[in-house]
Amino acid sequence: MEVKPELQQQLKLELKLTPALLQNIELLQLSILELENLIRDEIEANPLIEIEDEQNEVVEKNEISESVWDFVVDGGNLFVKDDSEVFDPLSIKASPVSLRDKLLKQVHLEFEKEDLEVARFIVDNLDKRGFLAVSIEEIARSLSVPVDRVESVRKRILHFDPVGCAALSLIECLKAQAEELGIDDKFVRAIDEIELLRKNKKRFLEKTGLTEEELEEFLGILKHLDLQPGLEVETVRVIPDLIVYLENGKPVVKILKTKTFSFRINPSYLRSADTDKLKKYLNEKYQRALNLKKAIEQRNATLKAIGEAVFSHQVEFLKHGEFAIKPLSYKEIAEKLSIHESTISRAVKDKFVETPFGVYPFKVFFKRSVSGTSVDVIKEAIREIIENEDKKRPLSDSKIAQLLGKRGIKIARRTVAKYREEMGIPGAFERKER
């Protein structure tokens, strides 16, 4: 039987990333100074964008110099008593932040006892690029600890800020950054074949299963990854993106802005355009400026929502300092705000928060806990297990630990006992019904 080719219509749903959505994603990743530089570049390239001074008078582009570095905060902040005052970030006398200092601060928040010693040893043996300069086996021998323990600690440091430090290879470093940004798994796997891409593009596509279009997207992703995550830390000047403090016992979150964030779009050029070509050019510039303004507003709204959700969970930190930071995962905040985990990851990347106890990387407040699960989630799981146990044969703490292990939560018996007591739940003997 002869098969004849024919045309068929098929209806299907397909997710497409619009230019506006891509711009939203890109801006969300930028720190305040990076965003400031992006806006300054756009001001130079777009004749329709103008800066307004405090009296709403337009500042000519040739007058834009140090004024773009005058910082103001929406609704007031901790730095100034009067909202009308100007905050100049260059007035901050911050000492240079070394890679070691930045990582050790996170290490002391994340690890305890033997793991803390291992983590400090790892950080002290990173090279200037941020890569681990000694082998896992050498660290294990030096500290007389199992290799598995060293590797477990190293893998956690790999996802500290800056992401990718303590990597053993460039591939591992890039994959950690891609995973942190929530990049599609097919692109993360493709990083393993970067060397092949350099030698033979066709074989790379065959081995990874990527199309030509996906290859372009993959190359765009690589441009956003840092080949040497430890280098730039040495000279960074820390400017906070958020400010948080307690007011009447409740956390208040402010987003730090520059005057350029509230730029003005001047449509007068559109009315004076006298040719179709000029009208088309100016319309494109107008739409670009409009999209940028909306993207900045969306970035700030998302960042503020995340900040409010995080610090409603971290109220104890705002009262007592870093030792009161509670475990928190991206997933918990993502579920609370009904957004994707990768959005949370992008939002906190390279951001800093000014708190009553100093400036911290935003990522610090997403503290990992037992088996990567927050204490609150573990406690709820323990409560659920005890509520559903046979009251005549209540479960011991050891048995509860085993049941949690089956759920992927590896936890010691004594830790179960500690959490149970904190919840006011008596031991198995006292729970037994007679």
- CATH number, domain containing residue 221: 1.10.10.1330
- Report if residue 103 sits inside a domain: yes
Q: List the strands of the sheet with 242-247, edge to edge.
A: 71-73, 250-258, 242-247, 352-355, 358-361
Residues 103 and 229 in one domain: yes
Residue 148: the pLDDT is: 87
Of 233, 250, 280, the last residue of a domain is 233
Is residue 315 located within the same domain as residue 254? yes
pTM, entire model: 0.51
- Nearby residues of 208 by Cβ (< 8 Å), 6 or more positions away: 186, 189, 190, 193
The answer as to whether 390 is a domain residue is yes
In a domain, 383, yes or no: yes
Instruction: Return the pLDDT at 253.
Output: 92
Considering the domain boundaries, does residue 8 fall inside one? no
Asked if residue 143 and residue 207 are part of one domain, the reply reads yes
Which CATH number does the domain housing residue 414 bear? 1.10.10.60
CA distances, 144 to each of 141, 156, 247 (Å) = 5, 20, 48
pLDDT tens sequence for the chain (434 residues): 555 666 666 666 554 556 666 777 777 878 787 888 888 888 888 888 877 654 444 434 343 333 333 333 333 333 333 343 344 443 444 445 678 888 888 888 788 778 888 999 999 899 888 999 889 999 998 888 888 889 989 998 998 888 899 999 999 999 998 888 878 888 888 998 888 888 888 888 988 888 888 888 888 888 888 888 887 554 455 678 889 999 888 899 998 876 666 677 777 777 776 778 888 888 888 888 888 888 888 888 999 999 999 999 999 888 887 767 888 888 889 899 998 888 888 888 888 888 888 888 888 888 765 555 666 678 888 989 999 998 888 999 989 999 988 888 888 888 888 888 877 788 888 888 87
The torsion region of residue 25 among left (phi > 0), alpha (psi -120 to 50) and beta comes to alpha
Look at the chain and report how many structural domains it folds into: 3
The verdict on 223 and 247 lying in the same domain is no
Q: Domain end: 186, 218, 233, which one?
A: 233
Instruction: Specify whether 139 is located in the same domain as 248.
Output: no
Task: Say if 10 falls within a structural domain.
Answer: no
Residue 57 lies in a domain: no
Per-residue model confidence (pLDDT) at position 89 = 42
Are residues 295 and 358 both part of a single domain?
yes
42 falls within a domain: yes
Q: Where among 187, 215, 233 does a domain terminate?
A: 233
Residue numbers of the domain that contains 116: 99-233
Q: Are residues 330 and 250 in the same domain?
A: yes
Q: Are residues 85 and 103 in the same domain?
A: no
Q: Same domain, yes or no, for 225 and 185? A: yes
DSSP 8-57: -----------HHHHHHHHHHH--HHHHHHHHHHHHHH-TTEEEE-TTSP
Whether 267 and 206 share a structural domain: no
72 in the same domain as 177: no
Q: Which residues of 101-124 are buried (b: 16+ CB within 10 A; e: fewer)?
A: ebbebbbebbbeeebeebbbbbbe
Tell whether 362 and 376 lie within a shared domain. no
